[in-house]
Amino acid sequence: MEAHKQLLSEGKLVTAQAIKARYLGQDDQHKTLKELVAYHNTNMDSVLKYGTMKNYYSTERYLHKFIKDKFKTPDIYLKQLNYRFIVDFEQYLLNYRPEKARKTCSNNGAMKHLERLMKMTNLAVKLEWLDKDPFHQFKLNFQKHNRSYLSERELELIEETTFKGKGYEKVRNVFLFSCYTGLSYVDVKELFQEQLVLGIDGNYWLHTKRAKTDEIVKIPLLPKAKAIIEKYTEEMKQSPDGKLLPVFSNQKVNSYLKVITKACGIHKNITFHSARHTFATTVTLANGVPIETVSKMLGHAKLTTTQIYARVLEKKVGEDMQDLMNLFEAKEKQRSEAPKSYHN
């Protein structure tokens, strides 16, 4: 009778099945957090890339540990999610000490887990499994970090340094290729010989699709990037998979890069992804390429994403302001040389 009364007051369709589901706690009013996570991950598995889904599975593991430690139960109802739950989960993430010796969760790492949970609770609201969003009053607090990139001089140092080991030489060249094309590790690794196309301007272009976003990217090849491809043309012709460049595993590449940068006297935390930032900042923007063009070559759907990569360099600010000063001086000179008009 109570289940029947609840369904009537909520304006829901009253059927024998609906009453039974409400009575047994199996209807939408009694969905659990684990059910929501499972529903989200099952439906998104075919939509999101493996790298993104991997992060959702990581968030799921943290949620399970938190519920078990905090509530001493394997699952909780969605209606138990509130502001307190989110704040407690945030503190749990920041203070969690893993059993194996590995990095603990940074502030931004914790925020990414909360951001993924927020997306799932938004889905629950849309599905009418939740009446209101528990994140309504909560604000994600990401800390801004200046990501490492190479200056013009540091780029030259890497280009001019020779390495005895062929492996280091290959990693250095593939890294430099990324510095001059802006392609990420996975996009360079998945480049095939047929993606090198002769454009209508008579120059070679790379036609590819970003693995992360499926955005189509067309990049005109700078001479230095073209020279690296030519260096490995004969070797890659023997490659059965038709790849354009010899690329090692991401872990190996980043391990070799640490040795390479140290040998060049560069004291920065440089990873393969730093090449993408170097392309955006040092290679293009610092040399006057408009941010809209850079955004297109990086394969970004929004300009705001490019702005994360592209710090406006002090040198560029100085040059732009110098141009402005020169313009004012020219105007002032023009004004002073103009014939004076006298009025009675």
Residue 273, amino acid: H
pLDDT of residue 161 exceeding 80: yes
Q: What is the DSSP string of 48-87?
A: S-HHHHHHHHHHHHHHHHHHHHHHSSS--BGGG--HHHHH
Q: State the Cα–Cα distance between residues 233 and 252, nearest whole angstrom.
A: 22
**Percentage of residues of the chain with pLDDT beyond 90:** 57
Q: Which of 283, 281, 284, 256 is nearest to 271 (CA)?
A: 256
Which pLDDT belongs to residue 170? 95
Query: How distant is the alpha carbon of residue 171 from its chain centre?
Result: 22
The answer to whether 228 and 175 are in contact (CB under 8 A) is: no
pTM of the model: 0.72
Strand partners, 243: 192
67 or 143, which is more confident: 67
Stretch 101-124: mean pLDDT? 90
pLDDT of residue 315 exceeding 70: no
The answer to whether 310 and 281 are in contact (CB under 8 A) is: yes
Specify the DSSP class assigned to residue 299.
T
185 or 302, which is more confident: 185
The answer to whether 218 and 211 are in contact (CB under 8 A) is: no
Q: Which of 23, 66, 64, 18 is nearest to 41 (CA)?
A: 64
Edge-first strand listing for the sheet containing 196-198: 196-198, 204-209, 216-220
In tens, the pLDDT along 10-61 reads 777 788 887 887 787 666 567 889 999 999 999 998 888 888 899 999 999 9
**Percentage of residues of the chain with pLDDT beyond 70:** 94
In tens, the pLDDT along 221-254 reads 999 999 999 999 999 988 888 999 999 999 999 9
Which pLDDT belongs to residue 260? 95
